[in-house]
Amino acid sequence: MSVTTANLGFPRIGPRRELKKALEAFWAGQIEEDALRETARSLRAANWERQSAAGIAVIPSNDFSLYDQVLDTSVMLGAIPEVYRALGAPNSLDVYFAMARGTRSENGSADTDGCCHANDGADAPAQEMTKWFDTNYHYMVPEVGPGQTFSLCADKPLGEFEEALALGHRTRPVVLGPITWLLLAKSHTPGFAPLSLLPAILPVYRELLGKLRAAGAGWVQIDEPALVLDLDDTTREAFRVVYGDLAGAAGPQIMLATYFGGLEDNFDLALSLPVAGLHLDLVRAPDQLERALVQARDDLVLSLGIVDGRNVWKADLGTLLDRLAPAVKARREIQIAPSCSLLHSPIDLALETDLDPQLVDWLAFGVQKLEELALLGLGLERGRYVIADELSANADAITSRRGSPLTNDRAVRARAAGITAESARRDGHFAQRSERQRERLGLPPFPTTTIGSFPQTDAVRKARADHRKGTLDDAGYDAFLREETERAIRWQEEIGLDVLVHGEFERNDMVQYFGERLSGFAFTRAAWVQSYGSRCVRPPILYGDVSRPRPMTVDWWRHAQGLTERPVKGMLTGPVTILQWSFVRDDQPRADTCRQIALAIRDEVNDLEAAGARIIQIDEAALREGLPLRRAGWGEYLDWAVESFRLTASGVAPETQIHTHMCYSEFNDIIAAIGAMDADVISIETARSKMELLDAFATYRYPAEIGPGVYDIHSPRIPPEEEMADLLRKASAAIDPGQLWVNPDCGLKTRKWDDVRPALVNMVAAARAIRAEP
């Protein structure tokens, strides 16, 4: 028996976001390509060194990327759409960054909240970007079409392998597998199945493997996370063909990596492939271990993904040693590894100097996870006594977390236990509520509003930064924000919006703002995780039972409402979105954590109502992205997600109007759940889809009111009045006009006032024009 430690991928942004800074400087023309490449090279060297110093035996290469590994794969395969080809050599940065960002540069420094990114009207548009499986990482969607040809550009995988070798590391290169790449690809030709391109793509992979072998690679890691999805028979057959072929090629041994879930009904398929190794995610799907021990061929190297690559908690080493013992006994060779690439983990806990030491003792970031693996490897190979001290410290941390008052707030637990179906039901049916709300609000038909935030200008950011640094005191910051809010209210009145917002100037981010005011959350200094390209996010750590010590938004709302007669919306982030964009505790089901957040938000909703708010909006931007990867899990998820939303809103009187907002453009398959949320008004993103997704609401006979976005805020383009009026006419054809609201697609915080002002003036004019029509 032998136990080898392995890693599947390391974060590339650098512990101090060195890559982000170099990229943005390069895009701004402040540094040359050589300097960017030098930063990249030194980050890679440091990463290899760190992994080797942590005691990891199998270290990846080609896991680095200047922007995105899926984009790298597209370039490697020569799948570069025509529009970009004219811009330079296929392996040039001009082409690469044009595919990533379009050919006119965007503002690279704006805050973002996971769903809204500016794609600022470029000459050659950027490739589409979307979320990588169920993570908050975004990849560039490959584009393919009929007759697509491929040709290998192996510069990157080979170059990085050789670079590592020169530094003394014989790495295992990582490449994204052909089937997952094709399944992620889209085609502009209706009915075209990207998978039909396999025969064209396979020779390119074969050629690549040959080159890697010739360069000295003994193993290659081929990632096929698609194996954890629901697959049809054609796709399964494709796996047999592809891996039958590649395993027979004169290449390195293949470690086929699956992650983000269990293989389930693809289990037999995966085990039947003639590859040399198979990586299983045992964090998301622990039962796979027993099944693999029974079924796997003797000579298959099992890579056991036992340390959570998606979360920040220390592993329970003692328990893992117990679990792994039978595998060590039964198999000739096993590898132990993180569940998936560490791309999704923050890099190094050592940088967190401000966190509560108690909490620090419970955490493990990327580097610490590798150290855990090294310890496990030692313990398994040489016996527990070799790591006795580390084991006992680890056991202490695990016990302390389990028993800590921070993770067990009795009052919160008792309250959550008391939730019944009744507590999540509003007073009165939609029809009854709607009548009372109409009477109370007295709004015109096609009421106009915005989604919540107004531009976060340089002045707003600077004031926030000064306040954080202490150069602007509380009173000064407060006064500044009040003025900004007042200006926003006056201006909204002036242009004639019907339902106003306070503008969210006091909020850095729609999740962080609430997390900082709820108990149970911690915020890090440097726990950055790549979101896309140079964008990084620092998700809060939800470590304990959640409660709301005091009102979080009521004063801001009161200030704003005090300035105007028109209704100002109370503005909150919903529980599912807060859950989804945080690192959450792994010691209880996500559903339980979500309910706790819901109760805290419910308190805020009730307080806003008591303060006089007639309309309260609870944003659930991330509801859809929380859907499990497999259909079988959807029902359960939607049940608790919808219940959590309802819990937040069900404490108010029928005449209080509850809004929600969701910014994505795919509703067909979850429309019933959206109906079940029972909001009075929902605003959604539709401008880019030209109102097409309203069809889902029409077909479903969605009973409540809807604000289909008429203004695409992702672009600086100012939509003319007539264009928005047309969209409203189109919407009126699908939905009863009495149900319609008029609003932009999403919040306006990433925009400039110079774009926002004329756009909203046009939007109000469009609504007036429509009202005047017979």
Residue positions in the annotated binding site for L-homocysteine? 451-453, 504, 619
Cβ-based burial of 668 (10 A; exposed 0-12, middle 13-18, buried ≥19): exposed
| Minimum distance of Zn ion from residue 116's CB (angstroms) | 6
Residue 254 touches which member of ligand GLN, Zn ion, none, C-beta under 5-8 Å by kind: none
Residue 510 contacts ligand GLN per CB under 6 A: yes
Shortest approach of ligand GLN to residue 683 CB, angstroms?
9
Q: Taking CB within 5 to 8 Å according to partner kind, which of Zn ion, ligand GLN, none is near residue 619?
A: ligand GLN
Mention every residue, 6+ apart, whose C-beta is less than 8 A from residue 525.
Answer: 351, 352, 353, 354
Using CB under 6 A as the binding rule, whether residue 605 contacts ligand GLN is answered as no
DSSP H or E run through 407: none
Report angle CA 327, 328, 334 to the nearest 5 degrees.
85
Provide DSSP, 528-586: -EEEETTEEE---EEEEEEE-SS-SSHHHHHHHHTT-SS-B-EEEE-HHHHHHTSEE-S
Residue with the two structure tokens 């109102």: 691
Please identify, among the stretches 69-77, 292-300, 540-548, 743-751, the one whose residues bind ligand GLN according to the rule CB under 6 A.
743-751
Nearer CB in complex with Zn ion: 204/662: 662
113 binds, among Zn ion, ligand GLN, none (CB under 5 to 8 A by kind): ligand GLN
- SS3 state at 324: helix
Question: Which of residues 66, 154, 304, 663 is near ligand GLN by CB under 6 A?
Answer: 663
Distance, CA of 73 to CA of 175 (rounded, Å): 7
Q: Which residues bind Zn ion (CB under 5 A)?
A: 663, 746
Which residue is closest to Zn ion by CB? 663
Among 14, 60, 177, 452, binds ligand GLN (CB under 6 A): 452
Q: Which amino acids are annotated as binding site for 5-methyltetrahydropteroyltri-L-glutamate, given as ranges? A: 17-20, 131, 136, 535-536, 581, 625
Q: Which of 619, 643, 678, 721 binds ligand GLN (CB under 6 A)?
A: 619
Are 8 and 259 contacting, i.e. CB atoms less than 8 angstroms apart? yes
Instruction: Give whichever of 228 and 746 is closer to Zn ion, judged by the CB atom.
Output: 746
> Does residue 714 touch ligand GLN according to CB under 6 A?
no
Phi-psi region of 260 (alpha: psi -120 to 50; beta: other; left: phi over 0): left
Among 15-23, 310-318, 445-453, 652-660, which window interacts with ligand GLN (CB under 6 A)? 445-453
| Minimum distance of Zn ion from residue 451's CB (angstroms) | 6
Near ligand GLN by CB under 6 A: residue from 140, 254, 307, 571: 571
Size of the site for ligand GLN (CB under 6 A): 16
Which CB atom, from 64 or from 581, has the smaller least distance to ligand GLN?
581
Instruction: Estimate the crossing angle of helix 753-772 against helix 721-734, to 10 degrees.
Output: 50
Please report how many Cα atoms fall inside a 13 Å half-sphere around the Cα of residue 688, on the Cβ side: 15
111 touches 748 (CB < 8 A): no
Question: What Cα–Cα distance (Å) separates residue 275 from each residue in 249, 255, 256, 577, 667?
Answer: 11, 7, 7, 40, 39
Catalytic residue, chosen from 117, 138, 659, 714, is 714
714 is catalytic: yes
- Return the residue of 279, 426, 502, 661 that touches ligand GLN, per CB under 6 A: 661
Partners of residue 503 on adjacent β-strands = 453
Residue 497 interacting with ligand GLN (CB under 6 A): no
* Contacting residue, 99, 711, 747, 759, with ligand GLN by CB under 6 A: 747
Residue 162: its H or E element: helix 155-166
Minimum CB separation from ligand GLN for residue 617, in Å? 7
Q: Which two tokens stand for residue 470?
A: 């202490």
Please give the full DSSP string across 249-282, using - where no structure is assigned. Answer: SSSPEEEEE--SS--GGGHHHHHHS--SEEEEET
Q: Which amino acid is at 177?
A: G
Residue 451 in contact with ligand GLN, rule: CB under 6 A: yes
Output the smallest distance, CB 222 to ligand GLN, in A: 36
Give the Cα separation of 135 and 151 in Å (integer). 30
User: Could you give the count of Cα atoms lying within 13 Å of 11 in the half-sphere of its Cβ?
Assistant: 31
Residue 660 CB, nearest approach to Zn ion (Å) = 11
Q: State which residue, 267 or 505, has the beta carbon closest to ligand GLN.
A: 505
Closest separation in Å from C-beta 747 to Zn ion: 6
Is residue 746 a contact point for ligand GLN (CB under 6 A)? yes
CB of 663 to ligand GLN, least distance (A): 5
CA distance 548 to 600: 5
- In angstroms, the Cα distances linking 242 to 205, 249, 456, 752 are 10, 11, 50, 49
Q: Please give the residues from 138 up to 177 whose contact with ligand GLN meets the rule CB under 6 A.
A: none
- Return binding residues for L-methionine: 451-453, 504, 619
Asked if 534 and 112 touch (Cβ cutoff 8 Å), the reply is no
Q: Is 763 in the site for ligand GLN (CB under 6 A)?
A: no
Nearest residue to the partner ligand GLN, using Cβ: 747
Binding residue positions for Zn(2+): 661, 663, 685, 746
Nearer to Zn ion, 316 or 504 (CB): 504
The phi and psi torsions of 120 (rounded to 5 degrees) equal -75, 100
Binding residues: 17-20, 131, 136, 451-453, 504, 535-536, 581, 619, 625, 661, 663, 685, 746
Name the residues annotated as catalytic: 714
Enumerate binding residues for ligand GLN (CB under 6 A): 113, 115-116, 451-453, 504, 510, 571, 619, 621, 661, 663, 746-747, 749
